[in-house]
Amino acid sequence: MKVIIVGAGLGGLACAIACRREGLDVVVLERASRIVPIGSGIHVPPNAARVARQLGYLDKLHRRGGVGVERIEMRRYADGRPLHALPAGHGDLPWLVVHRAEYHGVLWETCAELGVGLCLDMEVERIDFETNTVYLEDGDDISGDVIIGADGLYSVCRDQLLGSPSPAVETSDLAYRVTLPLDYLKTLGDPRIDEFCARKQVTVWLGPSRHATFCPVRGGRELNLTLLKQDDAEGHGDGDVGKMKQAFEGWDETLSKLISRVPRVQKWKPCTHPELETWTKGQLALLGDSCHPSPAYQSQGAAMAVEDGAVLGKLLGLLERSPKSGSPESISQVLRLYEYLRKSRTAVNMAGAASNKKWYHVADGPDQEARDAEMAGATPSTGWRWMDPEYREQLLGHDAVAEAVETFGRWEKEEVMFNSNDFVYYFGLPTGSQRQL
């Protein structure tokens, strides 16, 4: 089976690794003419660490400076008072913070080691769904058995699937990010900042309509600071340090001192896209930001994308070895199984992100006081999903690959099938177990 993956982001490369681990022929088409180290710290929560272990690159992330954080601590914006702390890992699975450039480098190198065809400067013009052919802007074309659209927020594959342009939409948030060298911060001579830098934790300050996050990357040699606020201003590119400082003026003294030492900053506008009715068409499937861009409130965007890739690779590998392989219809069915699994899974993330945004950005007053009391455990129940052990287990303890194997087995035995109304039926299970695509 030949798999063409459009896009060499984190999700696309994870998918390529998963497919090669299953013995499939894989080609990745990336529009960029060269790979440039970009970004700042990115989270690899336990569910994504599980995928990294399953695909064989978890140890590489550790060696490339991934920091295993021990807890996530919430603080009040005005005085830095701790509100709540949560354990970061899950069982024997760590919660890592890795610089995006290192994360991408690990995935790229692993693809090269496994023999993935990595092709740069490949701008996709259109897709022929009848012949399963990708046509490039330079006039070349490439055909395969499966096409995976991993080309992100500004996905050409999504436009082709929908039949018309469908651009991403900027949210009402504006984010600033900067990576600060530990040696530079030590020159401040502030014991409180030295203490923060030494902690293996993610610290989040919560305030009205904005929040700040601080955590170590690159083995603790650098510290990542992200500031997010609700703002309709245009994003992407160099940020105005003065405006950034003004937006967080009057916050916790330690955070304010960190912000005061920021020499330059990058800004960006988190984007979203209206929910798609389908992620698949024939032998094409979308993954990651091309079909479910994640809000910036749960540190799960990249994690969901690599889970997508791992599930696709496992399902296609199982199909390759199955008696039911060998037809375009079987590939189409398996891609719909993927969509079925991943739509419900990403909905869990979306619900949690929406909850976090509400809780992070509460304005001062009775609602904020009630939130703080709930976070302190002074009330018997909470509306914040992250304090719910069942939700944390559902999100962080999930084994996406095991779920894919189990579901494929049901499909192979024809316990799972599609009818003309696009319902999936599990034969022998209660009616309440049926879910619509």
Q: What is the pLDDT of residue 211?
A: 96
End-to-end distance of the chain based on CA atoms, in angstroms? 26
Residue 129: pLDDT above 60?
yes
136 pLDDT higher than 90 = yes
How does pLDDT run across 8-34, given as a tens digit for each residue?
Answer: 999 999 999 999 999 999 999 999 999
Q: Is 0.85 surpassed by the pTM of this model?
A: yes
Q: What is the pLDDT of residue 292?
A: 95
Q: Tokens for 313? A: 């690779």
Q: Which residues contact 401 (CB under 8 A, 6 or more apart)?
A: 50, 51, 54, 310, 311, 314
Render pLDDT for 337-355 as a digit per residue (tens, 0 to 9).
999 999 999 988 888 888 8
According to the model, what pLDDT value does residue 201 have?
96
In this prediction, residue 375 carries a pLDDT of: 87
Average pLDDT over all residues of the chain? 91
Q: What is the set of domains in the chain, with CATH numbers?
A: 2-34+120-169+274-358+399-431 (3.50.50.60), 170-271 (3.30.9.30)
Q: How long is the chain?
A: 437
CB neighbour burial string for 286-322, b if at least 16 within 10 angstroms, e if fewer: bbbbbbbbbbbbbbbbbbbbbbbbbbbbbbbbbbbee
Closest CA to 332 of 417, 247, 242, 227: 417
Say how many C-beta atoms besides its own lie within 10 A of residue 212's C-beta. Answer: 23
Question: Tell me: the pLDDT tens digits for 202-252?
Answer: 999 999 999 999 999 999 999 999 999 988 777 788 889 999 999 999 999
3-state secondary structure of 302: helix
Taking the C-alpha atoms of residue 16 and residue 57, their distance in angstroms, rounded to an integer, is 13
Cβ burial, residue 149 (10 Å; 0-12/13-18/19+): buried
- Mean pLDDT value of segment 263-286: 93
pLDDT of residue 208: 97
The number of C-alpha atoms within 13 Å of 89 and in the hemisphere containing its C-beta is 10
**Both structure tokens of 276:** 């798609």
Q: Indicate if the pLDDT at residue 421 is higher than 60.
A: no
The whole-number pLDDT of residue 381 equals: 63
Q: State the pLDDT confidence band at 435, using cuts at 50, 70 and 90.
A: very low
Residue 38: per-residue pLDDT: 79
Q: What is the mean pLDDT of residues 136-156?
A: 97
pLDDT per position as a tens digit, 365-396: 999 999 898 888 756 566 777 788 888 899 99
428 pLDDT more than 80: no
pLDDT, tens digit (0-9, with 9 covering 90-100), for 45-57: 999 999 999 999 9
Mean pLDDT, range 119-140, rounded to an integer? 97
pLDDT score recorded for residue 285: 98
The mean-pLDDT minimum among 15-19, 131-135, 261-265, 373-377 falls in: 373-377
Tokens describing residue 342:
């991943």
H-helix segments, 321-429: 328-360, 366-375, 389-396, 400-412
CB-facing half-sphere around the CA of 166: CA atoms within 13 A: 20
